[in-house]
C-alpha cells in the first residue's frame, strides 16, 4: 500500500520527537520516499542529521537562510515540496502546532508548507494530559477534523515529567502507518475548492436594488401564506453585484441566510413591506433585480387572535391581490434597467416574454421550478434569459452565483 508513496514527515517540538525517528524508519522500510521537516522546537530534542541518516534525504528546517554558527541551513522551497508530496504526517503534533494549523498560520517552514499542500494530512498528537483535555486544544482538533485533517487519538499511558498516566502519548508508529494506509486506500482527496476569479467591475458605483426570498402574508398571529423560496438566488445577485463594484441594497423576505457583507439589507416580511422598501429605493437605482418570490395574494382581514378550529381555517379564506412591485417600478419610467424572474411550473418561455412586455422590464429570466436543480431551495439554477428584442440565452445548469453573474453582465450592457 505504501511502496513508492511520497510522504513528508513534520516533526514538532515534543520529547516524543525521538519516536518520530522510528516512524521515519518504518515508513522507509515499507517503501515510502520520506522527506522530513523539523520545527525549531523539534531541534531541541532531535537533530536534522538523525532524519537525514534514516531517510537518505536532508531534513528541512528553514524557510529562509538562517546562520547557525558555521553552518547555514539552505532554505526550502515549500511550493516545490507541496508539489512533490502525496501525503503529510505530523508527528508529534504538539498543542502549539495543532493551534497554528487550525488557525491557518504560516509562521515557520512546516506551517507554511501545510497551507501550500493540498493533499491529505495525518496528525499524531503528543502532549501533557491536561493540555490535551484543554477546551482550546479540543476546539482546534475539532476545527482540523472539520477541515479534513485526520487527527489521531493520542495514546494512554505513562507520561513524561512525572505526570503519571493519561491521554497524551504519541500514537504508536503502527497506528500512524495504519492511518496513512487508510488515507491512500480512500483514493485521491477531493480537490480543495478554489476561490472564483474576481468579477469584472461592470457595476462600479452603480446603485443596485435586489429583492430576495419569500413574503409571508399573515392569516392570524401564528399562520401565514408563503412559498418555499430560500432566497439563495437573490442573495447570489446581491453578492455578485457587490463584487462587480455596485452599491447594493438587498430587500429580503424572511430567510435562513446570513446577510452578505458589504451589502445594505432591509428585512421585510409581507409583500406590502417589500413594496414600500423597493419603491423608496427605485427612483435613485440604476439597476433593479426582482428575484423575490412575492405572494400573489394576502388575507383580506388577518385575525388579531389565533383562529380556532371551525373558524375561517375550515371555510373560505377571503383573499385580496398583492401589488405587482415590478410592474409599479416599470411604470415609473426612467432609464434604470429592470430584471425580473418568471418562475413557472408548466408554462413555457413565452410567459417570460409576456411579463417582459406587460411590466416594462428589460430582461426576464425564465425557469421551471419542477426541473431538478432549478427549483426552490436548490443550490443551482437553469434559466432562459429573454430580452426586449426577442433574444433568448440559455444559462446553466450552474451555481446560482454563476447564473447571477451572467445575468448581471448582460444587464450591465444595457445601462446608460
31 vs 2: CA distance, rounded Å: 6
314 contacts: CB under 8 Å, gap ≥ 6: none
- CA angle centred on 182, ends 178 and 188, rounded to 5°: 145
CA max distance for the chain: 94
Q: Coil, strand, or helix at residue 187?
A: coil
Q: Coil, strand, or helix at residue 247?
A: strand
> Cell numbers of 185, please?
486506500
330 vs 307: CA distance, rounded Å: 38
Q: Say if residues 282 and 332 touch (Cβ distance below 8 Å).
A: yes
For 384, the enclosing helix (H) or strand (E) is: strand 380-387
Going by C-alpha positions, the residue among 17, 56, 22 that lies closest to residue 39 is: 17
By the 10 Å C-beta count (0-12 exposed, 13-18 middle, 19+ buried), 165 is classed as exposed
For 102, the enclosing helix (H) or strand (E) is: helix 95-102
Residues in the chain: 416
- For 400, half-sphere exposure in the C-beta direction (CA atoms, 13 angstrom radius) is 21
Residue identified by cell 413591506 is: 273
Q: Which residue in the list 128, 140, 227, 381 is annotated as catalytic?
A: 227
318 contacts: CB under 8 Å, gap ≥ 6: 299, 300, 301, 312
Across the strands, what pairs with 290? 211
Across 131-152, b (16+ Cβ under 10 Å) vs e yields: bbeeeebeebbebbeeeebbbb
Query: Beta strand pairing status for 150-151 and 121-125?
Result: parallel
> Cell numbers of 398, please?
450552474
169 vs 126: CA distance, rounded Å: 5
Rg (C-alpha) for the chain, rounded Å, is 30
- The question of whether 227 is a catalytic residue gets the answer yes
213 vs 376: CA distance, rounded Å: 10
Residues with active-site annotation: 227
Amino acid at each position: 500500500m505504501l511502496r513508492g508513496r511520497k510522504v513528508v514527515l513534520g516533526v514538532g517540538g515534543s520529547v516524543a520527537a525521538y519516536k518520530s525517528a522510528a516512524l521515519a524508519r518504518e515508513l522507509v522500510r515499507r517503501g515510502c520516499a520520506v522527506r522530513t521537516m523539523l520545527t525549531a522546537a523539534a531541534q531541541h530534542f532531535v537533530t536534522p542529521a538523525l532524519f537525514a541518516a534514516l531517510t537518505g534525504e536532508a531534513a528541512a528546517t528553514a524557510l529562509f537562510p538562517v546562520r547557525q554558527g558555521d553552518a547555514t541551513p539552505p532554505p526550502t522551497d515549500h511550493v516545490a515540496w507541496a508539489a512533490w508530496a502525496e501525503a503529510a504526517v505530523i508527528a508529534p503534533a504538539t498543542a502549539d502546532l495543532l493551534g497554528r494549523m487550525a488557525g491557518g498560520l504560516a509562521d515557520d517552514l512546516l506551517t507554511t508548507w501545510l497551507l501550500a499542500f493540498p493533499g491529505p494530512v495525518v496528525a499524531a498528537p503528543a502532549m501533557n494530559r491536561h493540555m490535551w483535555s484543554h477546551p482550546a486544544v479540543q476546539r482546534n482538533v475539532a476545527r482540523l477534523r472539520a477541515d479534513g485533517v485526520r487527527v489521531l487519538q493520542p495514546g494512554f499511558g505513562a507520561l513524561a515529567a512525572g505526570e503519571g498516566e493519561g491521554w497524551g502519548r504519541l500514537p504508536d508508529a503502527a497506528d500512524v502507518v495504519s492511518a496513512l494506509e487508510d488515507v491512500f486506500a480512500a483514493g485521491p482527496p477531493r480537490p480543495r475548492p478554489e476561490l472564483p476569479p474576481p468579477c469584472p467591475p461592470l457595476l462600479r458605483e452603480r446603485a443596485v436594488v435586489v429583492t430576495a426570498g419569500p413574503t409571508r402574508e399573515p392569516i392570524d398571529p401564528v399562520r401565514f401564506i408563503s412559498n418555499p423560496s430560500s432566497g439563495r438566488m437573490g442573495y447570489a445577485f446581491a453578492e455578485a453585484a457587490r463584487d462587480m463594484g455596485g452599491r447594493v441594497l438587498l430587500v429580503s423576505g424572511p430567510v435562513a441566510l446570513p446577510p452578505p457583507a458589504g451589502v445594505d439589507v432591509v428585512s421585510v416580511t409581507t409583500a406590502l413591506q417589500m413594496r414600500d422598501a423597493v419603491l423608496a429605493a427605485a427612483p435613485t437605482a440604476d439597476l433593479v433585480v426582482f428575484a423575490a418570490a412575492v405572494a400573489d395574494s394576502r388575507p383580506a382581514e388577518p385575525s388579531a387572535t389565533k383562529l380556532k378550529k371551525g373558524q375561517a381555517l375550515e371555510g373560505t379564506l377571503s383573499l385580496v391581490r398583492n401589488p405587482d412591485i415590478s410592474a409599479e417600478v416599470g411604470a415609473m419610467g426612467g432609464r434604470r434597467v429592470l430584471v425580473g424572474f418568471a418562475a413557472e411550473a408548466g408554462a413555457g418561455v413565452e410567459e417570460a416574454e409576456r411579463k417582459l412586455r406587460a411590466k416594462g422590464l428589460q430582461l426576464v429570466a425564465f425557469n421551471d421550478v419542477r426541473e431538478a436543480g432549478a427549483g426552490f431551495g436548490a443550490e443551482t439554477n437553469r434559466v432562459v434569459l429573454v430580452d426586449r428584442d426577442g433574444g433568448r440565452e440559455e444559462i446553466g445548469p450552474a451555481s446560482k452565483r454563476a447564473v447571477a453573474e451572467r445575468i448581471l453582465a448582460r444587464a450591465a450592457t444595457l445601462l446608460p
